[in-house]
Amino acid sequence: MTIAITGATGQLGRLAIAALKARGAKPIALARNPAKAVDLGVEARAFDYTSANPASLTGIGTMVLISSNDFNDRAGQHRAAILAAKAAGVGRILYTSVLKGDASPMILAQDHVATEAALREAGISATILRNGWYTENYTGALGASIQHGAIIGAAGDGRISSAARTDYAEAIAVTALDASHSGKTYELAGDTAHTGADFAAAVARAAGKPVAYVNMPQADYAKALQGFGLPEGFAMVIADSDARAAEGALFDDSRTLSRLIGRPTTPISATISAALGA
């Protein structure tokens, strides 16, 4: 069975390729620019979500559709990739959706819900991996947070069951290699939930400096994100996700992810330490 990974040069895609190789598989990397996939050590083919040429999927048994990070008609991009897979005779698609799927109140979930519907309409066997938050979502600006002694957000006391990207990548490898996961939908999240204050405390311990969590109204948080250089639309989506996290949108205690990968999910302290180079 030949497995192909879309978005293979992205952060999750690279880890998924590595996880599959570690299990003896020889995946195919699908990327907008195959030259950027040379270091992955696998066959690479050109594949763009917007053009989605079925010829690039010749001989593929399972396609892992990693959700696009381009928010310009993301659902339309995914639909094009799904139709290309159908035209190429791909037997199964794995899709990285969002935690809780159509039950999620987050604006971010809308594209994922539409993609899950497109998969059903296409009639291709699918495995839906509803990924929770990546812990790395919070570690990108740790330097500035430590410098200013504050991590800002709008999640209040909401509990967030985040996990490391490597954990989600291993779930991709496990389910892609085993056809028994066909037709299944999995809610995937970290074993241990944390609040914003918990995360700030973990950063403070790792850095050896005081760092506090500063909760903000959703609109103020969106404006702050724009001040950091995020486009207005994207800032609003991130702020909405944080505010919905305050209502439980990113909490899950099923431990489905750890059962799939056969080990506990990565603690936030480990991801924080890795980000700080500790």
- Indicate whether 278 pLDDT > 70: no
> Whole-number mean pLDDT of the chain?
96
Q: Provide the 10 A C-beta neighbour count for residue 216.
A: 18
SS (H, E, C) 133-176: CEHHHHCCCHHHHHHHCEEEECCCCCCECCECHHHHHHHHHHHH
For residues 245-253, give the mean pLDDT: 97
Q: Identify the pLDDT of residue 205.
A: 97
Q: Where are the domains of the chain?
A: 3-131+164-188+253-265
Q: Identify the pLDDT of residue 261.
A: 98
Q: Identify the pLDDT of residue 69.
A: 87
Q: What is d(CA 26, CA 229) in angstroms, rounded to the nearest whole number?
A: 39
Q: What is d(CA 93, CA 55) in angstroms, rounded to the nearest whole number?
A: 16
- Indicate whether 86 pLDDT > 70: yes
**219-246 confidence digits (pLDDT tens):** 999 999 999 999 999 999 999 999 999 9
Q: Identify the pLDDT of residue 1.
A: 75
Q: Cβ(91)–Cβ(62) under 8 Å?
A: yes
Q: Cβ(242)–Cβ(155) under 8 Å?
A: yes
Could you give the residue ranges of the DSSP H alpha helices within the chain?
11-22, 74-88, 109-122, 142-148, 165-176, 196-207, 218-227, 232-245, 256-261, 268-276
For residues 118-133, give the mean pLDDT: 97
Q: Identify the pLDDT of residue 41.
A: 96
Distances in whole angstroms, Cα of residue 265 to Cα of each of 138, 173, 259, 270: 17, 15, 9, 10
For residues 125-134, give the mean pLDDT: 98
For residues 168-178, give the mean pLDDT: 98
Domain 3-131+164-188+253-265: give its CATH code: 3.40.50.720
For residues 129-144, give the mean pLDDT: 95
For residues 152-179, give the mean pLDDT: 98
**201-219 confidence digits (pLDDT tens):** 999 999 999 999 999 999 9
Q: Identify the pLDDT of residue 106.
A: 97
For residues 10-34, give the mean pLDDT: 97
